[in-house]
Amino acid sequence: MIRKATEKDVISIARLYDDVIDYQSANGSYMSWIKGVYPTKATADTALALETLYVYDLNGSIFGSVILDCIQPEDYKNISWITKSSERPALIIHTLCVDPAHMGMGIASEMLSFAKKLAKELDCSSIRLATNSKNTGAIHLYEKNDFSIVGYNTALLDGKINCPRQCFMEHVID
């Protein structure tokens, strides 16, 4: 079940961030995240306070997390998005992650389906995100879920991590 996170979930989410970074580091991934820099417990705390933090909860265990909001990072202004209308916001995906022990079970796709439903409820024009252009697993996941690559550019992740050649993707809401 995907639900809004609660204060009691934050420690599990912070641990999940670290577990994903450790897993990716050990398996040659190209994530832009840096342990202790971004994402951290503070990232989860901020999103919790804004009520934009969601978890994939299975029988009381947190196996995934995502931040969904309509706040576009500054770097998004330089991208030629498919949707141009300023009348309807875009839903932005941040820090989508799944417990490494449960990867490949469809959890990330379920979370993306949830984001699509939320975007419709919020009357958003699209869903947007950025991922490292060398993170082919993430790019494949998003393409499989009807996201299109709209461009590449340098980004400053959370204002802390310089990410050259970020891949920007968008899903248009029907």
Residue 152 bridge partners (DSSP)? 167
CA 93 to chain centroid: 4
Comparing 48 with 157, the larger pLDDT belongs to 48
Q: State the pTM of this model.
A: 0.95
pLDDT score recorded for residue 131: 93
Contact 116, 173 (CB under 8 A): yes
Per-residue pLDDT reduced to its tens digit, 6-56: 999 999 999 999 999 999 989 877 788 999 999 999 999 999 999 999 999
pLDDT score recorded for residue 155: 83
pLDDT score recorded for residue 96: 97
pLDDT exceeds cutoff 90 at 57: yes
pLDDT score recorded for residue 156: 78
Domains, in order of start, for the chain: 2-172 (3.40.630.30)
Per-residue pLDDT reduced to its tens digit, 80-126: 999 986 789 999 999 999 999 999 999 999 999 999 999 999 999 99
Q: Starting at the edge strand that comes first in sequence, how are the strands of the sheet with 126-132 ordered?
A: 2-4, 53-58, 61-69, 90-98, 126-132, 161-172, 148-157
pLDDT exceeds cutoff 90 at 161: no
